[in-house]
Amino acid sequence: MTGQAVSKRISYLGPEASFTHLAATKVFPNSTLVPFTTIPECIEAVAEGSVDYAVVPLENALEGSVPLTVDYLFHEAQLYVTAEVLSSIQQHLLVHPENRDAESFEAIYSHPHALAQCHKFLYYTYKNTPLEQYSSTAAAAKMVSELPERNIAAIGNEFSAHKYGLDILQRDIHDFHFNHTRFFVLSKSDHKLTDPSHDDQIKTTLMITPPDDDRSGVLHQMLSVFAWRRLNLSKIESRPLKTGLGDYFFIADVLADENETMMRGAFEELAALGCTVKTLGSYYTYKS
């Protein structure tokens, strides 16, 4: 149990009231949270030591792309995952209080991914209303709060509604109700942040680069290493190495601690197969 002290500084992918901000407040309710414009800036802030932790989206994110985080961790940074945060994504239709009785709008503003996540709602309820792209859900909410004379709406989270004094005209307008975003909490030192309510399932994230020859066979061999030991993978994904087309590495989440006997055996065999393994550490899950 560390990292909860008041004096800690945390970088997160901004702007304020973003989904990443919401995830960061879950893990660090009493720390100084510093927004950054891009994922590499967030990650470098912790690598350089100007903050203690970075909170960045990893999967299914609204504000940034998964590949950016994965690739930056693989190519550029030597950091550890100290926790992950799983947040359910809830999108609401937000309006200025003066327009709360409106039945139609000039336009609806949001981040392109948020507009896409609410596609069916928008299609059936506001079919002829123009959809306008904005750089983030929080920025769209801010704009709506500043222009009460325009009859416009934003799509965003509850945090944005509170921050910018907007009314929630309709709740939970996203199409898929089991839609989660996954965030990593990164640090320079390899340790675990724990949550009093965590469910005890530990996870380890590995980045595995196969040897140059016969990649298809190696993937099958790699999985054999885990399968016969009953080490469960909750995720596996191939990513281009960026050294040329057709060169890949794998990111895998294993439901075990990296220090378990079976995991140490797996690391040895992966090395014997010619694979290079970079571990991002073992960590618990915060849910919000």
Q: Using N-to-C axis directions, what is the helix angle for 261-272 and 215-227, rounded to 10°?
A: 160
| Beta strand pairing call for 107-110 and 9-13 | unpaired
Q: What is d(CA 52, CA 224) in angstroms, rounded to the nearest whole number? A: 38
Q: Which tokens sit at 278?
A: 């970079």
- Name the one range near a second copy by CB under 8 A: 97-105, 145-153, 245-253, 257-265: 245-253
**x-or-dash pattern for a second copy, window 148-187, by CB under 8 A?**
----------------------------x-xxx-------
- Judged by CB, which is closer to a second copy: 248, or 284? 248
Question: Tell me, what amino acid is at 274?
Answer: G
* H-run or E-run covering 42: helix 39-48
Q: Is residue 199 near a second copy by the rule CB under 8 A?
A: no
Among 40, 102, 163, 190, binds a second copy (CB under 8 A): 40
Q: Which segments within the chain are labelled E, that is strand?
A: 9-13, 32-36, 53-59, 80-88, 92-95, 107-110, 131-133, 152-156, 167-170, 180-187, 203-209, 233-240, 248-254, 276-287
Among 5, 97, 112, 264, binds a second copy (CB under 8 A): 112
Q: At closest approach, how far in Å is the CB of 193 from a second copy?
A: 20
Q: Is residue 24 near a second copy by the rule CB under 8 A?
A: no
| Sign of the alpha-carbon dihedral angle for 153, 159, 160, 164 | positive
- Judged by CB, which is closer to a second copy: 168, or 241? 241
Residue numbers at the binding site for a second copy (CB under 8 A): 15, 37-41, 44, 59-61, 63-68, 71, 75, 86, 111-113, 115-117, 119, 123, 131-136, 139, 176, 178-180, 215-217, 219-220, 223-224, 226-227, 230-238, 240, 242-246, 248
